[in-house]
Chain A
Amino acid sequence: MLRFVARRLVWMVITLAAISFVTFVVIKLPPGDYTTTVIANAEARGQDIPDSQIAELKRHYGLDKPFIVQYLTWIKGVVLHGDLGQSFAWNQSVASLIGNRVLLSMVLSIASLLFVWSIAFPIGIYSALRQYSGGDYLASFLGFIGMAVPEFMLALVMMYIGFRYFGQSVGGLFSPEYADAAWNLGKLLDLISHLWIPIVVVGVAGTAGLIRITRANLLDELHKPYVATARAKGLPEWKLLLKYPVRMSLSPFFSTVGWLLPGLISGETIVSVVMSLPTSGPLLLGAVKSQDMYLVGSFVLILSTLTVIGTMLSDLALAWWDPRIRTRFQKG
């Protein structure tokens, strides 16, 4: 098991390095660099910056160095000082801008993940055990719809319903009276009462997908010989189903995190834009639109890192759950 963990950790570090490199490439992708922006800003104010000052700026930010050196300087700053660079548009350090927002994004994504699990597994298992029953058809049909409706559409419809019939905005995460208040129980309850709509909206697509996967997996397992063995042993039907095929089909429960989490973060991003939630989504969108590349890159970096960590945790959980994976690494 230790070996397995060590391997996963090494692989995670490599992945993170790759992600950070890709991120930096993306940051550097648009033509021009920081000085271009500074000059443009200055010109907009009718000022003129002397060439010497520009050269000074370039030296200061290392923009005259080769690409790889720039990357190393940047990643050193990120890792050692948590320095993600400067937001041009906000004229602030990126780290100070996004801290809380990323936290809320993660809260929302993880809450959606739990929602997806708690809904999708029971329904998926039911669907498989009662294949071709009315409930199975209903679940399949709703699953299809869930996969076909884009998250932002669902968010829009929810907003429309809230606005039209309840005369209130369902956007945001806090009621006005709590928005700027310090954290207390009231604020927490307020948050929860606002949070469930985005959680459901973000989770719908993942739920639909996971129901289908659970159902298909369980259907595959249901007719395996080991189930017949268990039946031949004289176990009561429901008991053997739960102990054998259902347990086997639950391995995806863990491995799903790998693909579910990126999807949920994507969904969360767009839903937050529509419902104007104070998470990373709207800020990222603004940054993208103004080509505020350090801010954009930081979001990609942080969200990917969190996903990779989440995936690793789920892999460890899977190893705990499934002895085949656990023991594969025992002997090396």
Chain B
Amino acid sequence: MQPLLEVRSLRTHFELGDGVVKAVDGVSLSVPRGRTLAVVGESGCGKSVTARSILRLVEKPARIVGGEILLHPDSDGEPLDLLAAKDKRLRQVRWADIAMVFQEPMASLSLVHTIGDQIIEAVRLHENVGKQAARERAIEMLGRVGIPDPQRRVDSYPFQFSGGMRQRAMIAMALSCRPRLLIADEPTTALDVTTQAQILDLLQDLQQEFGMAIMLITHDLGVAAQVADEVAVMYLGEVVEQGPASAVLSHPKHPYTQALVRSVPRLGARGQDRLVAVRGTVPPPYERPTGCRFHPRCDAFMAGKCDVTVPTRVRSDEIDVACLLYGEEKS
């Protein structure tokens, strides 16, 4: 069965005055149908830019310079390359097939339009329904995401909502056209911990109800562990490891993922298992390390190999990993 969305060698670069920053440089990943893929990585690794590139939402000075983004609407039909699609076709895909939820619920909703207005707009854009029907859909969706008194709140402005309510409204808007894929870009980062858990629960409930796939961008391995079926780990603009969440998070293959997992605090951990931060710092954006990009910080660094050879993706157990340690086992 085809995955819902395949990203192949996506490259998105920032063309700044004094050079090119390769924020996304050869990202490949796939989003399974009806499941949740969590994309994790440190800030600056390019995960948000990847998410935005999928709907071609990047703006100057960023530019998508290469790759393919294949949407398979049906499990065995012809795929649609979103990067090659005409603007009009792309606009049809947006929201109807792939919707997005952003990090800052306050900033990603217009403050001078009512919530209802913004949802109705989306519905009527993609479906041939009347004003009243669209409004009812909006109220229904607001109720579905747990906003109390939706008949009244539909006419409220976003700034009259609390942070958590705003994100719920945003989710209601995202799901108003029943998309096949919901891209959630750090949807809970700006919220407090309790609200964060509620929103994640809500997303899982809605996924069961509507059956859409979720691509969750997060820097928080805990969040990924809580909701993800699959995990993709990004480092310096590429995916270094993708596989089932249980496998990747409990038995990571890539030394970077291993270091990340070690750096997360765990309940019930013993005193001697001290938290270990990932060694070193992220290298400057204009100079990517040669060979494996992680080699200057890697504990398993092999001189003369890792700094020369660019690792290719190989399969080890159920996991796709780009690391020279696993070079021999061909998939």
Contacts and interface: CB of A to CB of B under 8 A. Distances in A.
Let me know if chains A and B touch directly in the complex, using CB atoms closer than 8 Å: yes
A68 B103 CA distance: 60
B111 interface: yes
A61 to B, nearest CB: 55
A228 B160 contact: no
Contact of B104 (A225, A233, A243, A247): A225
Contacts of A231: 57, 94
Interface stretch (A71-79, A112-120, A322-330): A322-330
Interface residues of B, number: 30
Nearest to A235: B125
A323 B116 CA distance: 14
Given A234-B95, A234-B125, A229 B112 contact: no
Contacts of B256: none
A232 interface: yes
Given A234-B95, A234-B96, A324-B159, A229 B125 contact: no
B107 A236 contact: no
Interface string A241-255: 001100110000000
Nearest to A223: B59
Nearest to A240: B121
Contacts of A224: 107
A232 B112 contact: no
A248 B110 CA distance: 9
A235 B52 CA distance: 16
Contact of B91 (A226, A229, A234): A234
Nearest to A231: B57
Interface string B25-58: 0000000000000000000000000001001010
Nearest to A326: B157
Contact of A232 (B57, B107, B109, B159): B57
Contact of B108 (A225, A236, A324): A225
A233 B112 CA distance: 17
Contacts of B55: 232
B102 A228 contact: yes
Interface of B: 52, 55, 57, 59, 91-96, 99-100, 102-104, 107-113, 121-122, 125-126, 157, 159-160, 170
Contact of B112 (A228, A234, A235, A323): A323
Interface residues of A, number: 21
Given A229-B110, A324-B112, 13 more contacts: A223-B59, A224-B107, A225-B108, A226-B110, A229-B102, A229-B170, A231-B57, A233-B121, A234-B93, A234-B125, A235-B121, A243-B113, A244-B110
Interface of A: 223-226, 228-236, 243-244, 247-248, 322-324, 327
Contacts of A234: 91-96, 122, 125-126
A32 B157 CA distance: 60
Given A223-B59, A226-B107, A324-B111, A232 B157 contact: no
A229 B159 CA distance: 16
26 contacts: A225-B103, A225-B104, A225-B107, A226-B108, A226-B111, A229-B102, A229-B110, A229-B170, A232-B57, A232-B94, A232-B99, A233-B94, A233-B99, A233-B125, A234-B92, A234-B95, A234-B96, A234-B125, A244-B113, A248-B111, A248-B112, A322-B112, A324-B112, A324-B157, A324-B159, A327-B160
